[in-house]
Structure 1
Amino acid sequence: MPQIGTTERAVRLGEVPVLSANGRYLVFRYFFGDLVSGTTPNNDIYLIDLVTKQIQLVSVSPTGNQGNNYSSTYDSLSISADGRYVAFASDATNLVSNDLNGETDVFVRDTLTGTIILASVSSTGVQLGANTLDFNLSPAISANGQFVAFQSQANNLVPNDTNGDDQDIFMRDLSAGTTLRVSVNSNGEQTRPWNIIASADSRNPSISGDGRFIAFESNAINLDPRDTGVNNFDIFVRDRQTGQTRQVSVNSQGQVATGASLQENSIGYPTTTNGSSNPVISANGRYVVFQSGATNLVPNDTNDRVDIFRHDLETNETILISVGIDDSPANGGSSIGVSRNGAISSDGRYVVFQSLASNLVPNDNNNAADVFVRDVIAGTTERISVNSSGQEAVGGRAYTNSGDATISDDGRRVAFLSRSSNLVNDPFAPFSYSIYLRDRQTTDLTPPPVLPPPVFPQQQVTPSPSSSPTYNSGWVSNLLTAPSTANPFVAVNSIPTVTSSTGLSLPSASSAQAGAWWF
């Protein structure tokens, strides 16, 4: 039976795509300054409304200029369920006033009102300390945009942070204006390394929709009594309501992972194995997916490859996601990828991942990484990195063909990166990445309603290190005039449109700027 669905190119040369849960908005990183007038080449963050095709610069300063340094160079992005709020990291110093720490910071942009706020501050508004050397803050935002989790080596965001330069996980409540550390054990103790010369780093947070649960990876030995004390990264979940922290890289009997788990290179593919990686928690807070080379998480795991697993926090069941045809082990390594914040649907039913395996679906003959969706309820695996005729991606390079995928809540839309030359008609594709959008159905997309926003107070921020007085940055305005709720985006380019086979209104090929947009 032919595969149903359509594949279109969303952005040529774009990177780190993340879909909103409702499937309408796509946030991504883009270097070339040709999407919004007045910008120059720089790693910036943009957002596209996939219904109206309107595009907005996210990493923009209070005075209307693009950020004066790179944004999310090493980081994932995160977007609220309705696409209104975008969390990202940036080295720019002009996104809010008086940003004096000279460090990578976390920002949250309200794309409805055109305001931006600094999120990586303490409860008293102190910026993370200078010389923190945080290159990767991995921000993750809750469904309504109220809570932002991130990682940092800073020791001045919460009291009694005395574990040196070890990375911790923090959560900022933008409504309450408070910051707390979540990488602590059930007794509230900070992380401890396995020996005195090692570090106890916690990283890659993922947050549930209501902000109650935060999943993260850590090589600390004191977060769960079951931890064996080996210097491997494991997966943990912190419940802010009960104060419990527990390890979830365990099998269904509660035994901790043995063997090793993925460490990935810059594009998210397996290199060596040493610790558990890339946890993603479902919006309902029940399921955590992660990648692992452990051999004891499920029975008969004999493929000697990194696999994808899903752990149920209610039943404690752990299942294999990257399963081959007839439930056989995958014959290639699998990864969640850089765009991990959108790797699982809110109810945990759909999981998207990338894999070098050739036995997950029939007729996988391209000898390259592909994108797959696992439907846990139906027990099916579908390859996503195909063109609208169902042909597999070709023309890319092994380890760099297709990946970094993110999925909408209903499992219908998947955005991913690829260098393939045949997903659309593009002879230059093998030489550079493009972002593609796969619609697994063919009916029209009905725009979802705009959700009511949470109420955030004005932000009090104190520069650090500095003896300067505390100032009130408020919610600074950006380049765009604050739009109405009926039309939350301002078109920055006038681009003719045509109608695609999906029923979406897409820009015509002749009007596309420098590789942006479709076709």
Structure 2
Amino acid sequence: MRGSSKRVSGRRGRGALSAAAVVCVITAALPGAAWAGTSDGTHGADARAIGVERLSVAADGTQANDDSTDVSITPAGDRVVFASFANNLTPGNTGRNDRVFVRDLTTGENRQFGGPAMAPPMLSSDGQVLAYLAPRFDSMALYQNHLSLGWSSAYTCSLLSCEASMGASERHQAFSVRFRYPEQNQRVEVSRPDTGELQTVDVIHNTASIRPSISGDGTRLAYQDGGEQDILLWDWADNSVTYPIEGPDRAAELVQLSDDGSKIVYLSGPDTYVYDVASGTTQQVPGVKGVAIDPTGRYLLHTPSGTTGPAPLTLRDLQTGTDETVTDGPATAVIDSVSAGGRSVVFRSTAEDLVPDDTNGKADVFLRTLR
């Protein structure tokens, strides 16, 4: 932990990322999934009834035949992305490999992409671009697929490992690249929306995950220095880094920067903290472990403090202090699991009582509509 607040400038640099293979896409229409509640029979994201819906269902409406992994949702709540080992979610998939699936909640369409994903797959804030990390030769690559235009690409990002975060479009990306030599330091590269120019910030002390989290418009990036246990905030306007945002003499772990760039959620001790970027003030949420924040920075998804595995999920309105139960059984969720305004939350669970006729004995992904 650093002893005082500092503001430093990172290096600005240009870089070209290598493009590579095209990823195959398979498309299939899905019927409505089972609901634990009433539904008006439509697929529209704005017309969904309050209740729980299972998203990892096969093309004919039957249950997935293998486990699905963590799931995220767009700010508009119209698309979700998850990975699954199931081979019956789309026609023609006879393998048992991990694949990435994007479900359009407006049309019920399910689309399958390549894999295996080495981390939870991501959708850009506008829902147009899918990205996921996967091996490529002796490196890692960030694979991207434009869901409307149909193009696909892969960007090699590290010989050892890399992390990524996406904003509103394919141009709003953040890369964390770990170098083997001369030291196991990392750097953060943020691509410029109009020219593709890279702004580069070195992470001097870090050899662990930096958990990059970029705002939807690509103008702010939060990340952590694991070596110093600090949270840092990078700003596009003057290519500067502010740290530590948690203040001196406190260990912190980054959770997420809200999509609008207004709030940073981090963990410290048994509590969660929500930092307001504009005012520089921090709201303490005692006794809970923050998991994600909605795109507006108002709704915090959390589990009980000290949780290390599946646990009940609760959504807190940070303005009113009120809580809503998402699920009272064991579940897991990742960043970007809450849609704007806290309307919907997506999560993974092995519970068999969330929707009717859940008898596959597998981990499924679910959507809880709260309002």
Counterpart position of 2:223: 290
**Equivalent-residue separation in structure 2 for 1:430 and 1:336 (angstroms):** 16
Spell out, residue by residue over 1:61-94, the C-alpha distance to the aligned partner (whole angstroms, 9 max, x if none). 101122211111xx5x321111110011111111
User: Residue type matched to 1:351 in 2?
Assistant: I
Counterpart position of 1:355: 268
Q: Are the equivalent residues in 1 in contact too, given 2:185–2:204 (CA < 8 A)?
A: no
TM-score (norm 2): 0.68
Distance 1:413 1:177, change over 3 A: same
1:146 aligns with 2:128: yes
**Equivalent-residue separation in structure 1 for 2:246 and 2:176 (angstroms):** 23
User: Residue type matched to 1:435 in 2?
Assistant: L
**Equivalent-residue separation in structure 1 for 2:315 and 2:176 (angstroms):** 29
Instruction: State how 1:92-491 maps to structure 2 within 5 Å.
Output: 92-120=86-114, 128=115, 134=116, 136-153=118-135, 155=136, 164-183=137-156, 191=158, 199-203=159-163, 205-220=164-179, 229-239=182-192, 241-248=194-201, 256-260=202-206, 274-293=207-226, 305-320=228-243, 322-324=245-247, 328-330=248-250, 332=251, 334-337=252-255, 343-356=256-269, 368=270, 370-384=271-285, 392-393=286-287, 402-418=288-304, 433-442=311-320
Q: Are the equivalent residues in 1 in contact too, given 2:260–2:296 (CA < 8 A)?
A: no
**Equivalent-residue separation in structure 2 for 1:79 and 1:372 (angstroms):** 23
Distance 1:344 1:431, change over 3 A: closer
Distance 1:66 1:165, change over 3 A: farther
Q: Which has the larger radius of gyration?
A: 1
Spell out, residue by residue over 1:250-284, the C-alpha distance to the aligned partner (whole angstroms, 9 max, x if none). xxxxxx22222xxxxxxxxxxxxx24521011001
**Equivalent-residue separation in structure 1 for 2:128 and 2:187 (angstroms):** 27
TM-score (norm 1): 0.50
- Aligned partner of residue 265 in structure 2, secondary structure: strand
Greater shift, 167-176 or 210-219, is seen at 210-219
Deviation at 1:218, TM superposition (A): 2.0
User: Residue type matched to 2:129 in 1?
Assistant: F
Deviation at 1:286, TM superposition (A): 0.5
Deviation at 1:202, TM superposition (A): 2.2
**Equivalent-residue separation in structure 2 for 1:236 and 1:83 (angstroms):** 28
Q: Which blocks of at least 5 consecutive residues in structure 2 are unaligned? A: 1-33, 38-44, 325-338, 342-353, 357-367
Counterpart position of 1:70: 67
Spell out, residue by residue over 1:87-115, the C-alpha distance to the aligned partner (whole angstroms, 9 max, x if none). 11111111111224432111111112211
**Equivalent-residue separation in structure 1 for 2:369 and 2:196 (angstroms):** 46
Spell out, residue by residue over 1:204-243, the C-alpha distance to the aligned partner (whole angstroms, 9 max, x if none). x21111331211222247xxxxxx7423343222346423
- Aligned partner of residue 96 in structure 1, secondary structure: coil
Q: Which blocks of at least 5 consecutive residues in structure 1 are unaligned? A: 1-33, 38-47, 121-127, 129-133, 156-163, 185-190, 192-198, 222-227, 249-255, 261-273, 295-304, 338-342, 357-367, 385-391, 394-401, 421-428, 450-490, 494-515
User: Residue type matched to 2:222 in 1?
Assistant: V
**Equivalent-residue separation in structure 2 for 1:443 and 1:52 (angstroms):** 24
Q: Are the equivalent residues in 2 in contact too, given 1:119–1:148 (CA < 8 A)?
A: no
The alignment yields a C-alpha RMSD, in angstroms, of 3.6
User: Residue type matched to 1:201 in 2?
Assistant: S
- Aligned partner of residue 323 in structure 1, secondary structure: coil
Find runs of 4+ consecutive structure 1 residues off by over 3 angstroms: 34-37, 48-52, 238-241, 429-432, 442-445
Over the matched positions of the two proteins, sequence identity in percent amounts to 26
Distance 1:431 1:68, change over 3 A: closer
Distance 1:415 1:101, change over 3 A: same
User: Residue type matched to 2:177 in 1?
Assistant: S
**Equivalent-residue separation in structure 1 for 2:176 and 2:289 (angstroms):** 21
Greater shift, 282-291 or 53-62, is seen at 53-62
Distance 1:108 1:432, change over 3 A: closer
User: Residue type matched to 1:200 in 2?
Assistant: L
Distance 1:381 1:136, change over 3 A: same
**Equivalent-residue separation in structure 1 for 2:308 and 2:259 (angstroms):** 33
Counterpart position of 2:330: none
Spell out, residue by residue over 1:408-451, the C-alpha distance to the aligned partner (whole angstroms, 9 max, x if none). 2332211112258xxxxxxxx99962111111223999x989xx
User: Residue type matched to 2:166 in 1?
Assistant: I
Deviation at 1:171, TM superposition (A): 1.0
Structure 1 or 2: larger strand share?
2
**Equivalent-residue separation in structure 1 for 2:154 and 2:98 (angstroms):** 18
Deviation at 1:375, TM superposition (A): 0.4
Q: Are the equivalent residues in 2 in contact too, given 1:70–1:92 (CA < 8 A)?
A: yes
**Equivalent-residue separation in structure 1 for 2:240 and 2:277 (angstroms):** 13
